[in-house]
Amino acid sequence: MKDTVFIEGLKTEAVIGVYDWEKKIKQALVFDLEMEHDNRLPAATDDLSKTLDYEAISNYITSYCEENVFELIETLAERLCRALLNDFHINALTMALRKPGAVPSANAVGVKIYRQKPTT
């Protein structure tokens, strides 16, 4: 069985892009996350510390985007996934990262990746 905790449509801004003009402004980003986590223990105990705190994760993503600069959304997605897997009790996650307005004729462009916590 695979349980999922999700965050949908998380909006934040970042300095991201390859063009000189993009490196001088913040641009909108939208994240969708599906995080694999066994929800049986938090459900049984009604204890926030046993679950994935989606507010803490959302704040983490926002801070991460504000504190770093990237040229490629691929780089941001990869590094952010790695950080989330390391810093939270997430077994695996799927992240969709959209950059609305990057292509005027499209609602958004972006990447979608799936990453698992490394096994030791």
Query: Domain segments of the chain: what residues?
Result: 4-116
The whole-angstrom separation of Cα 101 and Cα 107 is 7
Q: CATH topology for 4-116?
A: GTP Cyclohydrolase I, domain 2 (3.30.1130)
Pair 38, 89: CB distance under 8 Å: no
Residue 10 · residue 33 · CB < 8 Å: yes
CA gap 83, 30 in Å, rounded: 18
Which helix or strand (DSSP H or E) is residue 42 part of? helix 40-45
pLDDT, position 102: 85
What pLDDT, on the 0 to 100 scale, is given for residue 2? 85
Residues labelled as active-site residues:
99
Q: pTM for the complete prediction?
A: 0.90
pLDDT along the chain (120 residues), means of 10: 90 92 92 94 90 95 96 96 94 96 90 89
